[in-house]
Structure 1
């Protein structure tokens, strides 16, 4: 099992409120490819499953082992909570231990980016870090409390329409009506309690005080039309992590790994080489 990581979450500048922490768990994962290159781990957005990484699973499997994970309460992973980002990071390590993976590269998008930041600082196992459409602080605690309440009241299908409008740029949405509905259904299919638990984890996350301590090579990627994590929010990560590289895609929104898959894959491949 993975070793529990240090308790470094903060509640917007202050120590986090007490949470009944249940320990790490083994997550659902999908794995493709092989080879001598460092394995690549993919950690997705709130409301997603490993399916959101299909373009990257296809592309990187040609050169290395690539592993996509479902956060707890997402996709086919079971629900345990409440949880902090620390717990979600420990889930990742426990799962990678079960797969025989020690050192790895990691791409984290949105919620996955918060988890990836924590892993890069604390685990000692990350070789290179890619932070995509993510942040040091995600909105306000009150906004996440409201989203969790909506999810628990059975409104995840309703939420999915709002969320999907922020995941892709207007140009992409207009050109991909069938794909848009496919990704919306992925959000809608997320267990309500799993979504709510992840909202709770994001509500208390604040990495601003320790970003400068991340020492692994880092690439930060933003979409100019991202309605969830605006470019200036993402850019803050690159400005705060020593020697981090920064890249913007335009047009692109939150799920730029899908919207700009070919360009994104080439950029990441060059960075990981």
Structure 2
């Protein structure tokens, strides 16, 4: 059996944040975070994951179907961790499981290490240690680059990044679906703010707290990722107690290449 996926909204700090929901509302909650993409990265596994949890795949402010807009000051990992906790409060979640992809994995590590509210953690092709930002993201630290970036510029860049994040060939409708949010100036500003705020010190500074917490953590990794190399995941499980690694076929968005394997690895971890 698979569960239907619906799009819902919750008000957080005056903005309507959107999330994809699947699963029994009375089941244990699983909050899922994105990074430089949006909640669409989790969509392929939500119907199956709904068997194991109440899935809530959040769109950050100014991303996906959410309202609001990010600026650089509020787009760093600690600030977005606060936003995620505020969303959890608005959704009535006291304790929850947490999953993060890409920069969303950095946010998830911060929430897990500092809040005392995370039961189990999943990191999927996540930033960690000093693995980030990649050059295509780092260049947005330059205010002139951010100011000069147009909607068409971002659409072109996101199309190339999306194609490069999936091992199989995406159909035109699938690619268009991924690009849907990046079609207005406010979304461009939010994305470039997130890119500008990308800073590895946030994940490096978390290492001692993660080691002390020894939170049950599963890393699920598309082993052919060109952006977040699997070597960082292998290092994580060596250095952070309580963690293990499941490698699957695929690249940076393994939910598109190996949805069944990703869902199985996550559900197995969350069921313990």
Structure-2 separation of matches of 1:226 and 1:54: 19
Task: Show structure 1 runs of 5+ residues with no match.
Answer: 1-22
Given that residues 213 and 241 in structure 1 are in contact (C-alpha distance below 8 angstroms), is that contact kept between their aligned partners in structure 2?
A: no
2:67 corresponding residue in structure 1: 77
Q: C-alpha offsets along residues 116-167 of structure 1, whole Å, 9 cap, x if unaligned?
A: 0001100110000001101223435975342465554211012113312321
How many residue pairs get aligned? The number is 245
1:244 corresponding residue in structure 2: 243
1:207 and 2:203 matched: yes
2:172 corresponding residue in structure 1: 178
Q: C-alpha offsets along residues 197-236 of structure 1, whole Å, 9 cap, x if unaligned?
A: 1112323544234324322100012212111101112322
Given that residues 25 and 91 in structure 1 are in contact (C-alpha distance below 8 angstroms), is that contact kept between their aligned partners in structure 2?
A: no
SS of 2:227's partner is coil
Given that residues 70 and 194 in structure 2 are in contact (C-alpha distance below 8 angstroms), is that contact kept between their aligned partners in structure 1?
A: no
1:56 and 2:45 matched: yes
The partner residue of 1:139 within 132, 138, 144 is 132
Residue 179 to residue 209, structure 1, CA distance change in 2 (3 Å): same
SS of 1:133's partner is strand
1:20 corresponding residue in structure 2: none
Residue 184 to residue 141, structure 1, CA distance change in 2 (3 Å): closer
Map of 1:5-20 to 2, 5 A cutoff?
none
Given that residues 159 and 179 in structure 2 are in contact (C-alpha distance below 8 angstroms), is that contact kept between their aligned partners in structure 1?
A: no
TM-score where L is the length of structure 1:
0.80
2:253 corresponding residue in structure 1: 255
TM-score where L is the length of structure 2:
0.80
Residue 139 to residue 54, structure 1, CA distance change in 2 (3 Å): closer
The partner residue of 1:196 within 182, 192, 199 is 192
SS of 2:67's partner is coil
**Once superposed, what is the RMSD of the aligned Cα atoms?**
2.5
Aligned structure 1 segments of 4 or more residues deviating by more than 4 angstroms:
23-26, 140-143, 148-152
The partner residue of 2:35 within 40, 45, 49 is 45
Task: Show structure 2 runs of 5+ residues with no match.
Answer: 1-11
The partner residue of 2:267 within 241, 258, 269 is 269
